[in-house]
Amino acid sequence: MRDIYVDQKNGVLLNKLGITDSELLRKAESDITIVRLKEILEENDFKYDYKYYLALHKKMFDDIYPFAGEIRKIDMEKYEKILSGFPMIFGDSNKILEKLKNAFKEKKVDFSLSNAEITKGIVNFMSTLWEIHPFREGNTRTIITYVIKYVKSNELSFDENLLLHNFAYIRDALVLSVYNEPKYLEKIIFDSIERGMKL
């Protein structure tokens, strides 16, 4: 299937900035989303629902992509270094909304449990969102931002900087969690909770 989100002439994601070089787009995206992420985390507006999740993506990427906040309309695959180049297939684009609604119904975290159990709940929630992969671009940053706001809204002590400074690690950990290797994601989430309690 043709990727409708990519400029067929240069292979770069269609963007509002008119950038036709993938490296320049990556840099611009990083610079802009860092500013937006900071603004989002300062807002006291969290809602536990899929509509807010979509709105969060729009807020973070609206300056860059015309598809910000929209569920992807194509099936896709991404080749992952952590899997030695093996592709992850993100299919069933016509079922994303249904899966997203179910994730928010079935994967709610019980913050009254122990830190270890809370960690497992958060990781299960994150892994499910990653596997659904609702957006063409920006899934990892949206998951991380949403989880930070989710945890803070439940007044759990949490060192958010551990997540904000380790996007690449978390991306790899999310990939592995889908393949029944959650320990790497569990480690960083548990450490964030434990460190938060010491702050």
In this prediction, residue 46 carries a pLDDT of 96
In the chain, the domains with their CATH numbers are 46-59+66-198 (1.10.3290.10)
Angle (CA) 129-130-133 rounded to 5° is 90
C-alpha–C-alpha distance, residues 121 and 94, integer Å: 27
Which sign, positive or negative, has the C-alpha torsion 189, 55, 26, 41? negative
In this prediction, residue 48 carries a pLDDT of 97
pLDDT at 131 over 90: yes
Burial class of residue 1 in the structure, from the number of CB atoms within 10 Å of its CB (0-12 exposed, 13-18 middle, 19+ buried): exposed
Dump pLDDT digits (tens) for 18-66: 999 999 999 999 999 999 999 999 999 999 999 999 999 999 999 999 9
pLDDT at 1 over 70: no
Q: What's the whole-number mean pLDDT along residues 99-110?
A: 96
pLDDT tier at 123, thresholds 50, 70, 90: very high
pLDDT at 141 over 70: yes
pLDDT at 96 over 80: yes
In this prediction, residue 89 carries a pLDDT of 79
Q: What's the whole-number mean pLDDT along residues 123-148?
A: 96
pLDDT at 79 over 80: no
pLDDT tier at 192, thresholds 50, 70, 90: very high
Which sign, positive or negative, has the C-alpha torsion 93, 19, 12, 27? negative
Q: What's the whole-number mean pLDDT along residues 122-131?
A: 96
Q: What's the whole-number mean pLDDT along residues 103-120?
A: 96
Question: Which are the contacts of 59, defined by CB distance < 8 A and separation ≥ 6?
Answer: 36, 40, 69
In this prediction, residue 75 carries a pLDDT of 93
Catalogue the long-range contacts made by 87-90 (C-beta closer than 8 Å, 24 or more residues apart). 88/175, 88/178, 90/131, 90/133
